[in-house]
Amino acid sequence: MAIAPINMGVNLQEELQNQLNIDEVFGFDVAGVHIGFDEGTVVSWIIIAVMTVLAIILTRGFKIEGEISKRQLLLEMCYEKAESFFKTIMSEKVEKYIPWLMSMALFIGISNMIGLFGFKPPTKSMQVTLAMALTTIVLVEYCAFKDKGIKGRLKAFTKPVWIVTPINILEIFTKPLSLCMRLF
């Protein structure tokens, strides 16, 4: 007995295109060049603004000495938990980058949940995920050069054997694309 597929009147290709479509919210022309801002970018700005305002409000009145509030205690506990999480994964060297790592993690988490409030997640926009991937690679490479020096970083490209040097160099350019596509 053959089972016939159920036709629900949904064109999956059309539905996927509608879900992935990012419309332009506003734009303007400068010297004949159109500059447009899509939903992903505008929603990213909204998330950044809300995160900034919340950070200012939540950290207002913090004390360095003396009795601290329950709010400060809770936020410090959250920070310490995140700090230990990142240190466990990446080692003690990561300590000065923890605020950046936490900001990126919060942004990605909020970006993925913003759809619950009727907004299109910024991670549906390739330019948002590409910008995040590029900033990550720039920071990683900057830290590698700072940590090992120019000679040490260039020497690291020859590891494990010198023949893989072109592949290791190519990895710097392909890693942002990989990160971008995984987050997208």
| Domain identity same for 110 and 144 | no
Question: Do both 85 and 160 map to the same domain?
Answer: no
Q: Which of 73, 99, 122 is the last residue of a domain?
A: 122
Task: Answer whether residue 170 is part of any domain.
Answer: yes
Mean pLDDT (the chain, rounded): 84
Instruction: Give the per-residue pLDDT at 74.
Output: 92
In a domain, 161, yes or no: yes
- Position 8 scores a pLDDT of 56
Q: How many domains does the chain have?
A: 2
The model's pLDDT over 92-128, given as tens digits with 9 standing for 90+, comes to 888 888 888 899 999 999 998 988 888 888 888 888 8
Per the domain annotation, does 183 fall within a domain? Answer: yes
Q: pLDDT category, 37, cuts 50, 70, 90?
A: confident
User: pLDDT higher for 14 or 159?
Assistant: 159
With 70 as the cut, is the pLDDT of residue 5 above it? no
| One domain for residues 113 and 151 | no
Segment 41-50, tens digit of pLDDT: 889 999 999 9
**Per-residue pLDDT at 52:** 94
Amino acid found at 174: T
For range 4-21, the mean pLDDT: 65
Long-range contacts of 171-176 (CB under 8 A, 24+ apart): 172/137, 172/141, 175/133, 175/137, 176/130, 176/133, 176/134, 176/136, 176/137
The pTM of the full predicted model, rounded to 2 decimals, is 0.74
pLDDT digits (tens, 9 = 90+) for 21-36: 777 778 888 898 888 8
Over the range 31-67, which residues count as b (16 or more CB within 10 Å of their CB) and which as e? eeeeeeebbbbbbbeebeeeeeeeeeeeeeeeeeeee
Range of the domain at 59: 34-122
Whether 40 and 116 map to the same domain: the answer is yes
The confidence score (pLDDT) of residue 57 equals 92
Q: 53 and 102, same structural domain?
A: yes
**Residue 126 near residue 184 (C-beta atoms within 8 A):** yes
Residues 158 and 137 both lie in one domain:
yes
